[in-house]
Amino acid sequence: MSIWIHEESKVLIQGITGKQGTFHGTKMDEYNTNVVGGVTPGKGGQFVDLPSKKVPVFNTVAEGLEDTKADVSLIYVPARFAAAAIVEAADAFHEKGGGLIVCITEGIPILDMVKAVARVNQYPEVRLIGPNCPGIITPGDIGGSKAGIMPGFIHAKGRIGIVSKSGTLTYEAVAQTMSVGEGQSTCVGIGGDPVNGTGFIDCLDAFEKDDQTVAVVMIGEIGGSAEEEAAEWASKNMTKPIVGFVAGSTAPPGKRMGHAGAIISGGKGTAAEKFKAFEAAGIYVARDPSEIGNVLVKALEDSGLR
Amino acid sequence: MNIHEYQGKILFKEAGVKVQNGIHCKTVNDALNAYDLLGSKVVAVKSQIHAGGRGKGTLYDIETNDLIMEGGVKIAFSREDVGKYAENIIGRKLVTKQTGVSGKIVNNLYVEAGCSIAHEYYLALLVDREKKSILIMASTEGGMDIEEVAEKTPEAIHKIWTHPVDGLNEKDALEMADNLNLEGNSKQDLVSMLDSLSKMFVEKDCSMIEINPLVRSDSGEMIALDAKVSFDDNASFRHPWREEMRDQSEEEEVETRAHDHGLSYVKLDGNIGCLVNGAGLAMASMDVIKLYGGEPANFLDIGGGATRESITTAFGIILEDDNVEGILVNIFGGIIQCDMVARSVIEASNELGLKVPLVVRFSGTNHVEGKEVLDSCDLDVHTASTLAEGAEKIVNLTRSVE
């Protein structure tokens, strides 16, 4: 039945009265996502017009949760306030027994994230996705549920789970599954920052346990060692096939490639090492993102799923 | 953002980390005056550039490329030495392991009082992405390249962690001192230094502090003989003082200009320019060009908020590079609409007088409309429906140029 976000999920938007918040709130509503309200300090009591309905604005996340019973909070707050927004949402969800926080914001100071993630990790029932990510989407029969900025129309309900550090490259992976007639269970963008919430292993674990998902596409990029650790974990714990790609084979060392976390430093975090780890773990490797579809077909056939 | 050693040492001093007295100089005269002021018979004359490996670097004349001197950091035993070394360093090109062959011109010098060294250590603080905390890493093998130490004798590197919420645990700091075989006042010095550096790392929003070497003097004091400090750019808004430490001559002008237009650009050595939306897709586009036998000329992410104006700037930046013999535009429209990109690309190509082959691949939001715009224009544009097809086309088109 997909992971972490479902067609019934109620989504609150922190920063809903801002330009980004209103724009994407509108797109989410058009996709049939159940947007139940928003939070902007000082604007409590106002309403925001979405295509299908008017939703209330609250001063705090706690008030918003009390009133709407939301189970997802999506953050479009500017970088300098975003970590505080994550902490506020984490505390509020903790009071209510749990929830999902999705932070889209790019450019949050890294030590702010170190502190915010420490707080979120105190609450096992609260999950953070991001920051600096496209969000999470579960396609449904008509539209679906999306907490993020991805274009809804490229997706379709199906049985492939997708997890990725990148935004547009995730869309590429989605298009690849569609090109071979496969839809998606859930697509998660974990983001390109060096310190984030949910990682590859959390996603693989959830996809392994999800009965709608039969195979996973995992998209990594240079920097850090999350891909290697995920591959190692998968070799011991995953029964479902994984198709993997890593971006940045041609990236020079010591240069940040757009994402704050995409940097080869001290000779570590290269794409070559990550591809090697994938192969060692029995992951089906695509060297070219345009090949993900074909490699996925092979993985499904090998597992008797096609 | 990186700063010079002399600036890092000002921050160290403020934080309570022991450093030698030193003076920042811009001219040979400054250096001679610094020598007189410091009152130390032996001084170090140190090139200031934003790259490591200065000691083992080589200085060249910027016009003739003649070799001037081996070593960008020199120990001077007299006033004459200071004059000679300063003369050899200021205004020269310093090439080190980290600068690449083009090197960096040295505009700043640091003259520092000498120090009697009993032993050299390595010390660094950085953000540990996997543990989501601050890692403090030290080794008794100071002065050496830490990557080499990590490769050959990983057991010689000792690690402790400090979290910005809880601060440094004294027990961990004492354990680190024991691992480095420090005793008495040296041990106390190190513990207090680790505490000071941990606080400075958080207060100044650093992304890295590296001290190589950290030394134990003959009298047992622990002194930072080097200071390599980098800041997290995302936190610059709360540190306006950083502007005064910025040395723009150390930054790539074109990368800064791109950044000011909301673009993320890194120059590479190949001949195929790329214009892509999204960092991951931009890297993947480079990789696929290479897979089809080409060489990417750049990484360029136009971002989700790209406009006609920023796309024109991006085109201009790509075409400034004389190595560029063809351009691949790869857009997967999400927020960004392919037809807007198509119109911007045509406009920019006309404005800049595009003379190299252009391949455009559109997918996602309004890709059909985007392709229609391209098909109906006078420009010689090749289109592709997948990344692989686009890469193959541009590689073949640039080959036929040769």
Closest Cβ–Cβ partner in A80, A255, A267 for B147: A267
Cβ neighbours of residue A157 closer than 8 Å, sequence gap 6 or more:
A139, A140, A141, A144, A183, A184, A185
Nearest residue in chain A measured CA to CA from B283? A248
Q: Is B326 on the interface with A (CB under 8 A)?
A: no
Using the predicted structure, report yes or no on whether residue B378 has a pLDDT greater than 90: no
Report chain B residues whose CB lies below 8 A from the CB of A267: 147
User: Catalytic: B122?
Assistant: yes
Q: Which residue in chain B has the smallest CA separation from A261?
A: B129
The 8-class DSSP code of residue A265 comes to B
Q: Is the pLDDT of residue A209 over 60?
A: yes
Q: What average pLDDT does range B18-37 have in this prediction?
A: 97
- Which residue of chain B is at minimal alpha-carbon distance from A151? B334
Residues of B within 8 A of A113 (CB-CB) are 132
Among chain B residues, the shortest Cα distance to A114 is held by B132
Partner B contacted by A111 (CB < 8 A) = yes
pLDDT tens per residue, range B300-315: 999 878 889 999 999 9
A 29-48: CB under 8 A from B = none
Q: For A244-259, what is the mean pLDDT?
A: 93
Q: Looking at CA atoms only, how far is residue A288 from chain B in angstroms?
A: 6
Q: Does A290 touch chain B (CB under 8 A)?
A: yes
Of the candidates B165, B238, B278, which has its C-beta nearest A168's C-beta?
A: B278
Q: Which residues of B, range 51-80, sit inside 8 Å of A by Cβ?
A: none
Q: What is the pLDDT of residues B319-336, one digit of tens each?
A: 999 999 999 999 998 888
Gap between the Cα atoms of A235 and A238, Å rounded? 6
Which residues between 220 and 239 in chain A have a beta carbon less than 8 angstroms from any beta carbon of chain B?
A: 221-226, 229
Asked if B291 and A222 come within 8 Å (Cβ–Cβ), the reply is no
Mutate which of A19, A168, A172, A275 to test chain B, going by most B C-beta atoms within 10 A? Answer: A168
Interacting residues of B244 by C-beta distance below 8 A, sequence separation 6+: none
Task: State mean pLDDT over A191-209.
Answer: 97
Using a CB-CB distance cutoff of 8 angstroms, which residues of chain B are in contact with residue A151?
A: 333-335, 364-365
Q: Which residue of B has its CA nearest to A291?
A: B388
Q: B156-193 b/e with 16+ CB inside 10 Å = b?
A: ebbebbbbbeeebeeebbbebbebbebeeebbebbbeb
- Give Cβ neighbours of residue B313 (< 8 Å, ≥ 6 apart): B257, B258, B261, B263
CB contact under 8 A, A226 and B288: no
> What per-residue confidence (pLDDT) applies to A91?
98
Residues A166, B98: C-beta atoms closer than 8 Å: no
B chain contacts of residue A252, beta-carbon cutoff 8 Å: 266, 268
pLDDT tier at A80, thresholds 50, 70, 90: very high
- For residue A66, give the amino acid letter: E
Share of chain A above pLDDT 70, in %: 100
pLDDT tier for residue A230 given thresholds of 50, 70 and 90? very high
Cα B92 from chain centroid (whole Å): 21
Mean pLDDT of B53-80: 95
A-B contacts (CB, under 8 Å): 170
Q: How many CB atoms lie within 10 A of CB B305?
A: 11
Q: Which residue among the candidates B6, B110, B121, B122 is catalytic per the annotation?
A: B122
Residues of A in contact with B255 (CB under 8 A): none
Q: What is the pLDDT of residues B142-196, one digit of tens each?
A: 877 777 777 777 888 999 999 999 999 999 999 999 999 999 999 999 999 999 9
A43: number of Cβ within 10 Å: 15
Q: What is the pLDDT of residue B82?
A: 97
Provide, as residue numbers in chain B, all residues whose Cβ is less than 8 Å from the Cβ of A149. Answer: 304, 334-335
**A67 Cα to chain B: minimum distance (Å):** 31
Q: If you average pLDDT over residues B115-128, what whole number do you get?
A: 95
**What pLDDT is stored for residue B44 in this prediction?**
97
* pLDDT at residue A43 in the model: 97
pLDDT tens digit string along A286-303?
Answer: 999 999 999 999 999 999
Instruction: Test B333 with A167 for CB contact under 8 angstroms.
Output: no
**A219 part of contact set with chain B, CB < 8 Å:** yes
Percentage of residues in chain A having pLDDT higher than 90: 94
Please give the share of chain B, as a percent, with pLDDT higher than 90: 84
Indicate whether B401 pLDDT > 70. Answer: no
Reported ipTM: 0.93
CA distance B297 to B274: 7
Mean pLDDT value of segment A155-161: 97
Instruction: Give the side-chain half-sphere CA count within 13 A for B12.
Output: 27
Q: For A174, which residue in chain B has the nearest alpha carbon?
A: B364
Q: Output the pLDDT for position A1.
A: 84
- Show which of residues 247-286 on chain B sit within 8 Å of chain A, judged by CB atoms: 264, 266, 268, 276-284, 286
**DSSP symbols for A26-52:** HHHHHTT-EEEEEE-TT-TT-EEE-SS
Q: What is the mean pLDDT of residues A206-214?
A: 98
User: What rounded mean pLDDT belongs to chain B?
Assistant: 94
Calculate the average pLDDT of chain A: 96
- CB contact under 8 Å between B334 and A229, yes or no, is no
- Taking only the tens place, the pLDDT of each residue in A33-50 is 999 999 999 999 999 999
pLDDT over 60 at B337, yes or no: yes
Amino acid at A56: P
Among B137, B287, B129, B367, smallest CA distance to A269 is for B129
pLDDT number for residue A221 = 96
Single out the catalytic residue among B5, B112, B141, B210.
Answer: B210
CA–CA distance, B101 with B105 (Å, rounded to integer): 12
